[in-house]
Structure 1
């Protein structure tokens, strides 16, 4: 934890929650908690394994890791 009034440790998770809200919550209506849980697990899996990132040279995280291991 950072000191009082120092928000640097929160920036990463707040950025991730911003992506989550924009990409999942704003476009979907959930009727049950099971629906929400499944959608959340699918989103986390997609975010960690399949999304294309410009910081990773246009590759998904899995492709980037495989490329780094092959080199």
Structure 2
């Protein structure tokens, strides 16, 4: 796990945050998890759309077979 700290400048003030250690900071971890969640949601929606498309194709095929008297 990594941490962040503000580096003390020569004039005694605090500068920008800097990363200390290896691994992810809490902010980096949160951003990674949010990106993974967004990707999972997208993948799930795409699968749902494909399933709906297959279901519609199946219904169309069954209807055509019924019209021809096969079923």
Give me the TM-score of the superposition, normalised by structure 1.
Answer: 0.34
* Structure with greater strand share of residues: 2
Q: Could you say which structure has the larger radius of gyration?
A: 2
* Structure with greater helix share of residues: 1
Give me the TM-score of the superposition, normalised by structure 2.
Answer: 0.34
